[in-house]
Amino acid sequence: MFQKLRQKWKVDSTQLFLVITTFAIGGSLTGMAARKMMTLIPVVQPVIWTILYIFLMTLTWPLMVLVVSVPLGQFTFFRNYLLRIASRLSGKQRPGNSPAPSPNHQLPTMNIAIFASGTGSNARKIIEHFRGHPQIKIALVVCNKAGAGVLDIAAENGIPTLMIEREPFFRGHTYLPQLREKGIGFIVLAGFLWKIPSALIAAFPHHIINIHPALLPKYGGKGMYGQFVHEAVLASGDRESGISIHFVDEQYDHGATIFQATCPVEPGDTPASLAARIHSLEHAHYPGVIEKTILSQLVKNH
């Protein structure tokens, strides 16, 4: 059952636990609030009391789960969940893989290139999120490491790949023809370890975003990636860490921040245990923030 829920909601095990917890606590608070409100209504007849009680429960439940979802870090999930329910009730169906309603069905399609160097766990979540999306398409996976897991993920999903080499890449313009051939309009970095050259940034102004496994401006810059970031956070004694999603400019981890989410640093944490918590945040938020950012730009330019 839990595996089916994970697939249906596109969440990992940690987020599934938090989602179920939010449902449970939100439901309990809904019942308590509805009973409290019923004490203020002078109704004696059991049938009418029951009808009013169910009505109040129905009105109160969305508010309660949203309130509970905030401290548990699941606000985005439940906001989108409630929007889907509202769409079904109104008779306006949304695409099953799109967690946010499209503001304009006449918007053009934006082709994305995912740049990745490693196993591709974030790339997989992004690909799953946009499968069948009416405005956003993953059109290319760009990789700089032969045998990287992200190449297998691209193959599984029928997405073309482009292997790049260091010297031509840092010239800046070398791979622009291949990107233009695929109609790429937006670049998403998902564990890509090379610095983006100025020429590529100039070709895609404010159309390249990255995710960093810490709360920028802390723990950013050259050499600050993966385990090195988590080791620095633990060495500092900080009580929280998180993720930063930002636009890419000519400096490492310097572009304007789009979104941040936090998680606690627990006593006894290791770089590996903190990394696992950070990965959960990445998987939960990165695809949705990408979607919101791209749709906002499409609306603005339409």
- Contact indicator for 140, 160 with CB cutoff of 8 Å: yes
* 293 and 200 assigned to the same domain: yes
Rounded alpha-carbon distances, angstroms, from residue 201 to 115, 171, 205, 254: 13, 12, 6, 13
The conformational region for residue 73 under phi > 0 = left, psi -120 to 50 = alpha, else beta, is: left
* 97 within some domain: no
DSSP per-residue codes, 184-244 = EEEEEESS--SPPPHHHHHHSTT-EEEEESS-TTTT-STT--THHHHHHHHHHT-SEEEEE
Catalytically active residues, by annotation? 212
This prediction has a pTM of 0.66
pLDDT of 159 reads 96
* 294 within some domain: yes
Domain edge (last residue) among 90, 121, 147: 90
* 181 and 246 assigned to the same domain: yes
pLDDT of 201 reads 93
* 207 and 136 assigned to the same domain: yes
pLDDT of 16 reads 80
pLDDT of 97 reads 43
Domain edge (last residue) among 90, 123, 139: 90
Name the DSSP class of 259.
Answer: E
Rounded alpha-carbon distances, angstroms, from residue 133 to 107, 129, 286: 12, 8, 16
Q: How many domains does the chain have?
A: 2
* 258 and 295 assigned to the same domain: yes
* 252 and 157 assigned to the same domain: yes
Containing domain of residue 114, as a range?
A: 110-301
Q: Which amino acid is at 274?
A: L
pLDDT of 102 reads 43
* 116 and 86 assigned to the same domain: no
* 99 within some domain: no
Tell me the per-residue pLDDT of 185-229, one tens digit each, with 9 for 90 and over.
Answer: 999 999 998 999 999 999 999 999 999 999 999 998 888 888 999
Residue spans of the chain under pLDDT 50: 92-104
Closest among 200, 298, 191 to 249, alpha carbons compared: 200
Tell me the per-residue pLDDT of 231-253, one tens digit each, with 9 for 90 and over.
Answer: 999 999 999 999 999 999 988 88
CA distance 210 to 254: 10
Instruction: Give the domain CATH number at 162.
Output: 3.40.50.170
CA distance 299 to 3: 36
